[in-house]
A and B are shown apart, each in its own frame.
Chain A
Amino acid sequence: MKNSKGIFGYLLDSRHRSRTISYTMVIAAYIILEVLLHSGSLSNLFQGLLVPATCYLVAAIGLNLNVGVSGELNLGQAGFMAVGAFSGVCVSGLLAGTLPAIPRLILAIIVGMLLTAGVGFLIGIPVLKLQGDYLAIVTLAFGQIVMNLIMNLYVAFDSTGIKVSFVESRFDLEPGGKFLINGPMGATGTERIATFTAGTILVLFALVVVYNLIYSRNGRAIMAARDNRIAAESIGINIANTKMMAFVISAALAGAAGALYGLNYSTMVASKFDYNTSILILVYVVLGGLGNINGTLISTVVLFLLPQLLRGLQDYRMLIYAVILIVIMLVTNNNVLKTKMGSLRRKKA
């Protein structure tokens, strides 16, 4: 809605405040990190964390749409990332000689996103018609199945074409032929074309998609189906369709994140996208607050960086990480604190 207050009035309007904060945080973080990057004051370790951090942000924003906004538990977000990662790696590998890096990266992300959306749609058809925690069970299984499939997948190409197999590890490749995915060894020799700028743009894209969806006819339907299924049906909302939309978009964003992730490493094994990774992303979303996108942004960055920054403490690293998780849970679920925050928010509004 455009109004007379102009662009700043629009941005600061209470209905748009959360999205303004999101965009500001992402852009500010990007500028600061770019400056630090060019002045050489970022350690190698930290530099290597930038792209993966943006990937987890995108996957977590997508998952929040599914778990927070639509209210369906999804335990397979890493599986969708895997689909995106390995399809992205294949696209980039196949086009290595024909396209420059940037269009190739964009194409790989788009292919990864669309393919993952298709896979999500197929999984959603039988599951989303049911009530209850079936989606959690099915996505949990899906994540494991995808990981194991890719660990046994061989994809290679040469001048005669693309060869795909689940058993054959030795293709008769012509000279110049190359393995894209080599079974348990994963994708090897990938050209690293992912950049922090691309990652940031993808995060902004994910934010735009999710916010624009939430504040629309479809977003209201998704939240209505979450809040009261029977009432939503009584006003003519098809529950399965709205839940499907949230699920597919969530999967698509995970696919895009995966494609970027895959193209950030020269070697990538499928076991990277196991159950633990799915749970990790879910933890980012739950601790950030269900349906709260800004919370997701902050908790993802903090919880992703924390174990890396605690690396110096070696053996105590996971212990401290666990303690911090528990403290965050206690603090964010503290009713006294919640009421205080709530009254603060009301005063501002």
Chain B
Amino acid sequence: MNTNETPILEVKELGIDFGGLTAVNDLDLAIYNKEIVGLIGPNGAGKTTVFNLLTKVYKPTRGTIFFDGKDTAGKTVVDINKAGIARTFQNIRLFNNLTVLDNVKTAYHNNIRYSPVEAVFRLPGYYAKEREIEGKSRELLEIMELGDFADVTAGNLPYGAQRRLEIARAMATEPKLLLLDEPAAGMNPQETDDLMRMIRFVRDHFEIAVLLIEHDMQLVMGICERIYVLNYGMLLAQGLPAEIQANPEVIKAYLGD
């Protein structure tokens, strides 16, 4: 972390209430370019709610979110993706009836464009752009080690591969910040190791920042450069992995008194 730099994502005093329930309150976050940051906390701490706030699935009750130097107030889910935040989902959300390759191709929707007229009448622009989309999509599939699955229907993929496909699809929107919601859930230790390597590669290769929610401490401590700990919707602690591991407050939140 270089504190002289302006953060790519800067969250100040963020909060949301659902009726009388305060799900997230007074949250400050800052994520810098090319960082891998972890967001951890016990079940129900509000981690996924934070993702939904960052991507505008929920409108914040309080606080501000600045992304890439701009206030995101009033933006929609679609706008946020166009601005450069991509995400994966805790409960996998793929386009189950499309092939693996088409899932990734779909995500180039806004970055490689041609008009419906070019598509319907197969004008030269269509072929050039489709070749570009296909090339880039296959490249992402190779990075996420899904090359062999390109023509498989996404709904038929093994669980671990579905999680990797979600990351490939998110990367196809060419984001500056990638939000991963429990990317290693349901993976065995070997798959988790491979996933860590892939996440690091994606960060280095595409020079993006990554914010990830994860319960697998092997992964969190292995690749996160900084960690935020959330408990009851509030920030409990933040710091380097070693600091977090030694923090008595954090241990208490996870294990109880």
Contact = CB atoms under 8 A, between A and B. Distances in A.
B119 interface: yes
Given A1-B127, A217-B119, A217-B133, A235 B107 contact: yes
B212 interface: no
Contacts of A227: 94-98
Interface string B55-80: 10100000000000000000011100
Interface residues of A, number: 27
Interface string A179-220: 000000000000000000000000000001100110011111
B98 A223 contact: yes
A216 B170 contact: no
A212 B95 contact: no
Contacts of B105: 217, 220
Contact of A228 (B78, B93, B131): B93
A212 B121 contact: yes
A245 interface: yes
Interface in A246-271: none
B138 to A, nearest CB: 13
B240 to A, nearest CB: 31
A209 B121 CA distance: 8
Nearest to A237: B109
B246 to A, nearest CB: 36
Nearest to B166: A231
B113 interface: yes
B102 A235 contact: no
B102 to A, nearest CB: 6
A232 B93 CA distance: 9
Interface in A1-28: 1-2
B98 A224 contact: yes
B98 A234 contact: no
A23 to B, nearest CB: 14
A281 B138 CA distance: 39
A152 B119 CA distance: 40
Interface string A67-97: 0000000000000000000000000000000
B145 interface: no
B213 to A, nearest CB: 15
B13 interface: no
B96 A228 contact: yes
Given A1-B134, A217-B133, A223-B97, A234 B55 contact: yes
Contacts of B78: 233, 236-238
A234 to B, nearest CB: 6
Interface stretch (B1-9, B82-90, B183-191, B200-208): B82-90
Contacts of B133: 217
A237 B80 CA distance: 11
A128 to B, nearest CB: 15
B97 A216 contact: no
Interface in B95-113: 95-98, 102, 105-110, 112-113
A234 B87 contact: yes
A230 interface: yes
A216 B89 contact: no
Nearest to B99: A15
Contact of B170 (A212, A230, A235): A235
B120 A235 contact: no
B120 A236 contact: no
A111 interface: no
The list of the 9 closest CB pairs from A to B, nearest first, reads A216-B119, A236-B81, A231-B93, A227-B95, A220-B106, A235-B107, A233-B77, A236-B110, A224-B106
20 contacts: A209-B120, A213-B116, A217-B119, A217-B129, A217-B133, A218-B119, A220-B106, A223-B95, A224-B98, A226-B97, A227-B97, A228-B95, A228-B96, A232-B95, A234-B81, A234-B87, A235-B107, A235-B172, A235-B173, A237-B78
Interface of A: 1-2, 208-209, 212-213, 216-221, 223-224, 226-228, 230-238, 245
Given A1-B127, A236-B78, A237-B78, 13 more contacts: A217-B112, A217-B113, A218-B119, A220-B106, A230-B57, A230-B93, A231-B95, A233-B76, A233-B77, A234-B77, A235-B107, A236-B81, A238-B78
